[in-house]
Structure 1
Amino acid sequence: MKEFIFNCTFVFQIFVLIITLYYLILSLFGIYKKKDDGAKNCAPKKTFALLVAAHNEEVVIEKIIESLKDIEYPKDMYDIYVIADNCTDKTASIARSCGVNVCERKVPDKRGKGYALEWMFNKIFKMDKTYDAVGIFDADNLVSKNFLNEMNYKLTQGYKVVQGYIDSKNPDDSWITESYSISFWTVNRLFQLGRSNLGLSNQIGGTGFCVETSILKKLGWGVTCLTEDLEFTSKLVLNGYKVGWAHNAIVYDEKPLTLKQSWNQRKRWMQGFTDVASRFFFKLLKKSIISRSLTTFDCALYTIQPFITLLMGITAIITLLQNSNKNGLNIFVINSLFTTDFWKTIWQLFSIAQFLFTPFVMLLEKKLSKSMFYVFGLYSLNVIILSHIFDSPTFSQMIISNIIYLLAFVVAIGVIGKKKSLKLFIWYLLYGIYTLTWIPITIQGILDKNNKEWSHTKHIRQIGIQDVE
């Protein structure tokens, strides 16, 4: 029985390790960012219909309209449309007072962004005025002035769909908004840019993207699930198209303030992911094998993100169980391969690099100062320092010593007197808790995948584009 447990956990851990290495290699390609000034030298050629999907967004609707009007692109080459979807507040009247096109939709039994967009696309197709592409935004967004120039450049390169950089407009509001922001910054740099550098298809992020109308007419929208962006991405890849990436076209998004709001939103994402995976994973996997397409395989792997999250969570739990039991549980763990002093040192260095990887990405994205990066670097040395204090520490000794080490750093930063640095340091450590919450959220999402009731996230932050650029 002991041998059976060891062999099973060996196969499981190696399988998860291979998936982890795949994403690690993919992320390394995102570190490099070439300088591309092509958008500045590309003459405006594409015309755009900019669509803002809004449901009871009277607090924030005016700010996104202001930012869209301020875009540095010929004004006769783009129009703004606000979709007031089943609104019961002043969203429509405020949008009209801003001088943009407002289309009110009243279909209570079909609520949600996917339905609203499909309804609006059909209206655009019937208009006398034609557009080369449509841009999709949420009502809480703010859009950078160069957005359409960047999109125009990418579309003229041959892409039919282009995703922009989704940033945060309120990272300093709470530890939850900071965690969200860190997550988006790392995904944008490591995985979106990484895929772009490798020539793979990027993933549509739900907002801040443009689609050529020709593709919408050819393939149809037809995606009305809880994660319509993932569904449309899968549909595009299955039909041989790639989503382009515009790293400099920035859309600022309002992140949820509380853990409860965040939990509900991420649960909805996982419900949608599970739904899409059940319908598209095997189709994508089959096509990737037949056509020998890494692009299609990568998309297939992305659709099963909830299950990969669970696998990694299980790996962490069984590793913790093995390491915390004095006599061991005959569970294979990766660090058991590093038993000599040389390999222990290599493992320690890897642990330090792993901890500093995200701060390094934040440094690259200019979201973290060099001095703060050095603080994280000093803190990461606890792996080496504590190993010299305790030769073979028990689980309780590891926990206590790490807490003491952490408190010493908190006190040191507090004595220096930099409250902002202290807050950032603590919030970054809390990012680990935010990451762990993905496990129960994912389980809930998988179990509730058939519940397709759309839930609205309330937006309250009246921030202008001038406050974030």
Structure 2
Amino acid sequence: MITLLAWLLTALALLMLVPVLVLFTEVLLACLAARPLPVPRGPRPRLAVLVPAHNEATVLGATLASIQEQLGEGDQLLVVADNCSDDTAALARAAGAQVTERQHAELRGKGYALDHGVRHLAASPPQVVVIIDADCKLTAGSLDHLAHLCVATARPVQALDLMRAPAGAGLKIQVAEFAWRMKNLVRPRGMARAGLPCQLMGTGMAFRWEELATANLATGHLAEDLKLGLEFCRQGKPPLFCPEAEVTSLFPLNPEGLSNQRTRWEHGHLGVLVSDGPKLLGSALARRQLPLLAMALDLLVPPLALLTLALSALFVVAWLAGLWLGVWGAAVLASIGMALLVAAVLLAWGRFSREVIPFSVLIYAPLYAAKKIPLYLGFLIRRQVQWVRSKRDDQ
């Protein structure tokens, strides 16, 4: 019985060590000097910026302004007012954007809005389509970088997507900002440093028209961006990370909005991890396709809070088994995993977050992770499968 327990704990520890090693390697690579992307040259490809919007009247104006100042002659700006009950469509028209409205009682979610927008653009297709969420702002020059690289590489291109804690935000949101920087800045930077692709992030994405027009967008999946990026990689067009282009937005202070947002993201990510992760890993190994293998391994890294909770639980159980039963293999592996996780977090904070997030926030992080236990239990008991918009602070 003790031997069986030892084997089970050791196997579990080895399994847990895989995502920790992937995360640590990504962070370590990210700390190396970045490889500069080629400087865009020549006339910019004709592009369309597609903005899916569901009741976004309070934030859409700033987003459109940041886009319009980067548009050139022949470019298009299209807002899809999807199942809106506010003034989103009217505000977008007043700002000078093209607007198409969509209403459907059952088929709800960002994927359906994107599909509707792409079909609308088919009447006058651009060379490149850039997707920007309605609550994001573009930094100067971002459209140039995205469009040039997309055409030059014939691959989807992902901008750096950062969410920031608003002024006066509490520790919970500051920890969330650090976790977001780990996921969307540090890890894709590490992948790019090794010449590997990144996951798509939902906003700040550029696609050549011919690929996007034939993509399967009309889904209500919570993580349509992850699914889309994996599908492009299967087709031999792995997404490219472009940190020179940047989109930014703010975490909602509204507790309900923050909870909805977190549940949608993490249940969506875990759903793809469970349903696609093992199959994708097997397919990548069978095909001997390095970019697909890299994306599969990256996908297997769960949200940072969940990884911390799972590894901590394993660490405690493994050491108890060692002290009571003399079974030490799993305890050693769990200790290595914990040391690598702590090192990855400290390296990422010191290199990429020191100036925006105080060290005291990291001390609060374990408590933050513990407070998310109901969210992860909810994934097992009552998984969210339908898209729910995050409530804004002024709503």
Instruction: Say yes or no: TM over 0.5.
Output: yes
Calculate the TM-score normalised by the size of structure 2. Answer: 0.87
Q: What residue in structure 2 maps to residue 63 of structure 1?
A: 62
The 5-angstrom pairing of residues 108-187 of structure 1 reads 108-125=105-122, 127=123, 129-172=124-167, 173-187=169-183
**Aligned-pair CA distance for 1:438:** 4.8
Q: Is the 8 A contact 2:257 2:393 kept in 1?
A: no
| 2:192 is the alignment partner of 1:193 | no
Cα distance in 1 for residues equivalent to 2:308 and 2:156: 32
The one of 342, 350, 365 equivalent to 1:360 is: 350
CA separation of 1:358 and 1:435: change in aligned 2, threshold 3 A = farther
Cα distance in 1 for residues equivalent to 2:209 and 2:185: 28
**Aligned-pair CA distance for 1:427:** 3.0
Deviation string for 1:336-360 (max 9, x for gaps)? 589xxxxx9x999978745522321
Cα distance in 2 for residues equivalent to 1:7 and 1:305: 23
Give the secondary-structure state (helix, strand or coil) at the position aligned to 2:30. Answer: coil
Give the secondary-structure state (helix, strand or coil) at the position aligned to 1:76. Answer: coil
What letter corresponds to residue 11 of structure 1 in structure 2?
A
Q: Is the 8 A contact 1:81 1:102 kept in 2?
A: yes
Q: What residue in structure 2 maps to residue 399 of structure 1?
A: none
Q: What residue in structure 2 maps to residue 414 of structure 1?
A: none
Runs of 4+ in 1 over 6 A off after TM superposition: 346-352
Cα distance in 2 for residues equivalent to 1:351 and 1:269: 22
CA separation of 1:201 and 1:353: change in aligned 2, threshold 3 A = closer
| 2:353 is the alignment partner of 1:452 | no
Alignment length (residue pairs): 394
Cα distance in 1 for residues equivalent to 2:31 and 2:241: 15
Q: Is the 8 A contact 2:164 2:249 kept in 1?
A: yes
Deviation string for 1:251-273 (max 9, x for gaps)? 00221325554333232223323
Cα distance in 2 for residues equivalent to 1:216 and 1:194: 27
CA separation of 1:137 and 1:425: change in aligned 2, threshold 3 A = same
CA separation of 1:243 and 1:152: change in aligned 2, threshold 3 A = same
Q: Which runs of 5+ in 1 are unaligned?
A: 339-343, 369-423, 463-469
Q: Which runs of 5+ in 2 are unaligned?
A: none
**Aligned-pair CA distance for 1:202:** 0.9
CA separation of 1:237 and 1:112: change in aligned 2, threshold 3 A = same
Deviation string for 1:345-376 (max 9, x for gaps)? x9999787455223213258x546xxxxxxxx
Cα distance in 2 for residues equivalent to 1:93 and 1:260: 27
CA separation of 1:354 and 1:141: change in aligned 2, threshold 3 A = closer
Q: Is the 8 A contact 2:199 2:239 kept in 1?
A: yes
Deviation string for 1:61-100 (max 9, x for gaps)? 11101111222x5x21422111111111111111221111
Q: Is the 8 A contact 1:205 1:229 kept in 2?
A: yes
Cα distance in 2 for residues equivalent to 1:228 and 1:320: 36
Higher relative contact order (CA 8 A, sep 6+): 2
The one of 346, 360, 364 equivalent to 1:430 is: 364
Which structure features the higher share of helix residues?
A: 1
Cα distance in 2 for residues equivalent to 1:85 and 1:136: 15
Q: Percent identity?
A: 23
**Aligned-pair CA distance for 1:228:** 0.6
CA separation of 1:361 and 1:439: change in aligned 2, threshold 3 A = farther
Q: What residue in structure 2 maps to residue 49 of structure 1?
A: 48
RMSD in angstroms over aligned alpha carbons? 3.3
Calculate the TM-score normalised by the size of structure 1. Answer: 0.74
Q: Which has the larger radius of gyration?
A: 1
The one of 212, 227, 231 equivalent to 1:231 is: 227
Moved more, 155-164 or 311-320: 311-320
Deviation string for 1:287-315 (max 9, x for gaps)? 21221123222333344445997676343
Give the secondary-structure state (helix, strand or coil) at the position aligned to 1:104. Answer: strand
Q: Is the 8 A contact 2:77 2:97 kept in 1?
A: yes
The 5-angstrom pairing of residues 220-369 of structure 1 reads 220-257=216-253, 260-277=256-273, 279-306=275-302, 313-321=309-317, 328=324, 330=326, 332=328, 336=332, 353-354=343-344, 356-363=346-353, 367=356
**Aligned-pair CA distance for 1:455:** 0.9
What letter corresponds to residue 55 of structure 1 in structure 2?
H
What letter corresponds to residue 364 of structure 2 in structure 1?
L
Q: Is the 8 A contact 1:142 1:252 kept in 2?
A: yes
Deviation string for 1:439-465 (max 9, x for gaps)? 54233224434x532211023479xxx
CA separation of 1:334 and 1:360: change in aligned 2, threshold 3 A = farther
